[in-house]
Amino acid sequence: MAVAGAVLLGPLAGAQPGGAVVSAVIRGNAPLVACSSLKGSDIPGKTLTLTGCSGPTGGSAVVAAPFFAPRVIHWANGGSTTVTFNGNVRPHSIPACATAVTPRQGRVIASSISSTTTRFRASLCLRASGISLLPGTAMTF
């Protein structure tokens, strides 16, 4: 869904084949939970997988696709974390992905993992083949 002069981050299955980057950031304490990988098809009914997760998470998590806010992340240890962000974004270009977008006001609104912060941050690369974290970044909570 498009908004004049902006992109509304919602179902991301329609991302351009060249890819797009999504970042969600808020201010908060240093994250104690971080995941190094996100993979999957960002299509309704599919599941995205987070791996390489630190903290008391069980090391991995799953989240329903498409990735839009609010979204509940289900950790391998049985816990969950709910994140939200403003999906109304302005595209820009970066070398790692053809189109970058940065949602605002990313935050953790609920979590059974005691070591998460109020901050949610992710830089996502959206391609026709699926969704992943932007190389060299982590999803942090």
pLDDT for 9 beyond 60: no
pLDDT value at residue 104: 65
Across 69-81, average pLDDT:
94
Could you count the other beta carbons within 10 Å of the beta carbon of residue 105? Answer: 13
Which residues make Cβ contacts (< 8 Å) with residue 10, sequence separation at least 6?
1, 66, 68, 87
Instruction: Report the DSSP beta bridge partners of residue 101.
Output: 22
> Which pLDDT tens digit goes with each residue over 79-97?
999 999 877 666 666 787 7
Assessment of whether the complete model's pTM goes beyond 0.85: no
pLDDT for 111 beyond 90: yes
pLDDT for 47 beyond 80: yes
pLDDT value at residue 89: 67
Distance of CA 108 to the CA centre of its chain: 12
- On the CB side of 58, CA atoms within 13 Å amount to 15
The b-or-e profile of 22-37 (16+ CB within 10 A means b, else e) is bbbbbebeebebbbee
Angle at 107 between CA 115 and CA 114, to 5 degrees: 15
pLDDT value at residue 15: 36
Residue among 22, 3, 1 at smallest CA distance from 127: 22
Residue 91's Cβ-count burial label (10 Å; 0-12, 13-18, 19+) is middle
pLDDT value at residue 94: 73
